[in-house]
Amino acid sequence: MIQIHRTICCLIVLTTICGTIIPAAAAAEYTVASSGADFTSIQAAINQALPGDTIFVNSGTYLENLLIEKKIDLIGVDSGGGAPTLEPENKSNAIDILADGCRVEGFTIRNIEFLSGIRIKSDGNFIKGNALLNNAKGILLVSAMQNTIVGNTITNCSQAGITFDASNNNVIEENIFTKNSVGIELDEYSLSNRIYRNNFRNPLNVISKSATSVWHSPFNYTYIYLGLFAQSPIGNFWSDYRGRDKNVDGIGDTPYGIQIGANPKAILESNQNIIDAFPLMDPKQYYYEVFPVKEEVSTSQPMVFPTLPSISMETNPTTPVPVTTQTISSITPESPVNGQAPSFLMIELIVLLISGVVVLIIFRQLKHKEGKLEMSAGAAATTQKKISRTSNTRISSTVTVPEAIPQQKRSRTSNNRLTPSAPIPKTDTTVPVPSRPFTSSAEQMNIFPNELESKYAEIKYIGRGGIAWVFSARRKSDDMMIAVKIPISFDEMTGKSFLNEIAAWETLRHPNIVKVTAVNILPVPFVEMEYVPDSLETIGKPIPVWKAVHLIRGIADGLKYAHSQGFIHRDIKPHNILLNKDFVPKITDWGMSKVLANEVKKSSIAGFSLSYAAPEQVSPSEFGRTDERTDIYQLGVVFYELVTGSVPFGGESIVEVGNAILRDQPIPPSKFNSDAAVVEKIILKCLEKDPNLRYQSAGELLDALLGYLNEEG
């Protein structure tokens, strides 16, 4: 009898261990590529996979539609040709997700003309870091709950970037919506969704009939904006928001209207105005060191979370007040989706503990019957410890998700499972990294001189301007990130002129002038300067007037200093105004255009950009020679463009543009942007044809701008 009890105990222990280990080992990993991988078809890999498996898809274009009916992770990997691209030939939904708890990350999905890039009809999925281009709808949620859509770029969708159809409690965070017919669309049956920290720049940014969805973060964030520390809940950036920011915290002083008045057919009847109470003044990338302060935020928006269509509620506006009694955490990429992994492990642990208790009880009975209580108790404790240690180790291994494609397959299953069924050949077409300027690999290899490679590491091609190749690099001597410019064309004469003209730039030291750290013609001509990642050319225009004034003041202050040192730039334009992370403007390319002007043979206006040229640059015989007031005129053109979105003079040819600069009067900025009326006189004075009628110095312009600030303050 005692032997039978011992056998039962052993069976219980073995069953418990197997039940813990077998699920832990079940997750396998597969790769998909045109060759040298487990599969050549993504759908074939999905069909072969078991729930919990991970599929890594290498670079390339895949002409197939994907149907996901089991819980898997589908990860796109840039293996050298950009993100893997889905471009189905039959133009139905590129990815249909019908299973709960899936992850789709790192794909480019494009050219789905009539349906959606991703359709989600399930719960608890995680959609991250995908680019959805030229689809009818970027992402469609149908009766979907508790999904997280984060860090995606959705562009040129003919119907909407993201559409909600009776979908509740989803999180839409840190996505970029650009050039879609509608940025985001929610019907009246989509309730309690949370949308925040997104960029919206579309003809129509939002259509929402949802009475309970919330358009800002559930807690405060700390962050740095324009060099200043701030703390606030964070909403979204809306390209059509026209509010002001008097306290310069990056949050608009007035809310952005999502829905004015109640939708009479909504499930939740309410006469509330649905708003983004904390709209961003700039796209989210201008907010640095952003960290959550996990305190729930209450606003005037309905915050209920209904589950039945018959529920009705009406609320009154309240002032946003931080509440510190409850902590809410956002879902991060590192967190398990929908809590499934922790729940599974918890069940295993509970089963293990219950089994352990049963084993102890049986052992105690055996001890009593055998009269060996102390010996049996020690054996049971030792056995239990071994079981716990073994189980915990295996449980931890199941929740580890690799960050990159594995070099060798780590599946514990047989080779039969690795054989793809009905593989679909893929084309040789690959997708380049979207952010990389188009320059062939061979050209990039030949641009950076071999003679300079001993000085720099981590050399990265940034782009090509009109006169120089630009690289970022890490200087080996002190490990500092810097920018290196290499002239596109030079000879011995150019090299000498380059050294004389650019070396003088090295003497300029001002917060609004890019600092030159080294200039030389040996072993080849190059300029080394501080690395500033952005430029005025890349930001969307128009921008709020107060922000334009902030930028123009910085540029004018840099010009005032340079003029006092005897420097005239003569090529002030957005491309030559760099922006650091604190949105501080820095003037670059002092003397570069003048040095290399002799190399430009296409027109008589070499050495400056025609759209920003002053009359004296186009016709010096009529308006005289260039001087400090030339920079004032060009700065006026930049100011005009910042507040209106376009330069003051245009045309179909060089002749037309030149004639407009010499003869036409600029259209007042207020005709394009009524907010620009307060700075219109300043801009038009900068743009006077006659240099004598302009501000005579950068100092005079700064005084005029100070007058505007005093009036606003």
Residues 652 and 667 in one domain: yes
Give the torsion sign (CA, 46, 47, 52, 54): negative
Angle among Cα 180, 186, 187 to the nearest 5 degrees reads 130
Q: Which of 118, 35, 111, 42 is nearest to 79 (CA)?
A: 35
5 part of a folded domain: no
Supply the pLDDT for residue 516: 87
Residue spans of beta strands (DSSP E) within 398-503 = 456-464, 468-475, 480-487
As a whole-number percent, the residues of the chain with pLDDT over 90 amount to: 44
To the nearest 10 degrees (0 to 180), the angle between helices 628-644 and 698-712 is 30
Q: Give the chain's residues under pLDDT 50.
A: 22-25, 261-271, 298-343, 371-443, 445, 592-606
34 part of a folded domain: no
Supply the pLDDT for residue 222: 94
CA distance 191 to 212: 5
Q: What is the 3-state secondary structure (H, E, C) of 3-59?
A: HHHHHHHHHHHHHHHHHHHHHHCCCCEEEECCCCCCECCHHHHHHHCCCCCEEEECC
Q: Which of 205, 212, 201, 135 is nearest to 170 (CA)?
A: 212
Contact 577, 663 (CB under 8 A): no
Q: Is 116 helix (H, G, I), strand (E, B) or coil?
A: strand
203 part of a folded domain: yes
To the nearest 10 degrees (0 to 180), the angle between helices 628-644 and 545-564 is 170
CA distance 66 to 41: 10
372 part of a folded domain: no
Q: Choose the final residue of a domain: 308, 335, 362.
A: 335
User: What does residue 492 show for φ and ψ, rounded to 5 degrees?
Assistant: -60, -45
- Cβ-count burial 404-425 (b if 16+ within 10 Å, e if not): ebeeeeebeeeeeeeebeeeee
Residues 568 and 544 in one domain: yes
Q: What do you get for the CA distance between the two ends of the chain, in Å?
A: 93
216 part of a folded domain: yes
Beta strand pairing status for 103-105 and 73-76? parallel
Q: Which of 109, 648, 126, 651 is nearest to 341 (CA)?
A: 126
Helices (H) and strands (E) in the chain, counts: 14, 37
CA distance 158 to 138: 9
Beta strand pairing status for 85-86 and 73-76? unpaired
To the nearest 10 degrees (0 to 180), the angle between helices 373-398 and 340-370 is 170
Residues 448 and 597 in one domain: no
User: What does residue 631 show for φ and ψ, rounded to 5 degrees?
Assistant: -65, -35
CB neighbourhood size of 37 (10 A): 18
CA distance 508 to 569: 12
Residues 544 and 523 in one domain: no
Contact 124, 94 (CB under 8 A): no
Q: Choose the final residue of a domain: 485, 503, 530.
A: 530
Q: Which of 218, 279, 222 is nearest to 250 (CA)?
A: 279
Q: State the CATH number of the domain containing residue 544.
A: 1.10.510.10
601 part of a folded domain: yes
Supply the pLDDT for residue 418: 32
681 part of a folded domain: yes
Residues 445 and 515 in one domain: yes
Residues 602 and 671 in one domain: yes
Contact 147, 169 (CB under 8 A): no
Residues 303 and 203 in one domain: yes
Q: What is the DSSP string of 469-498?
A: EEEEEEETTTTEEEEEEEESS--HHHHHHH
Q: State the CATH number of the domain containing residue 455.
A: 3.30.200.20
Q: Which of 338, 290, 268 is nearest to 120 (CA)?
A: 338
Contact 579, 536 (CB under 8 A): yes
Q: Domain of 706?
A: 534-712
Residues 127 and 272 in one domain: yes
Helix H segments across 587-653? 592-596, 615-618, 620-623, 628-644
Angle among Cα 405, 406, 410 to the nearest 5 degrees reads 135
Residues 603 and 469 in one domain: no
CA distance 150 to 337: 12
Residues 542 and 634 in one domain: yes
Residues 657 and 520 in one domain: no
662 part of a folded domain: yes
Angle among Cα 263, 266, 272 to the nearest 5 degrees reads 50
- Cβ-count burial 247-285 (b if 16+ within 10 Å, e if not): eebbbbeebbebbeebbeebbbebebebbbbbbbbbbbe
Separation in Å, CA 235 to CA 162, 178, 219, 509, 690: 17, 17, 11, 38, 46
Single pTM value for the model: 0.54
Residues 172 and 187 in one domain: yes
Token pair belonging to 496: 């000498």
CA distance 230 to 290: 10
Q: Choose the final residue of a domain: 530, 555, 575.
A: 530
Structural domain count, the chain = 3
CA distance 263 to 297: 25
Contact 190, 164 (CB under 8 A): yes
To the nearest 10 degrees (0 to 180), the angle between helices 2-24 and 373-398 is 10
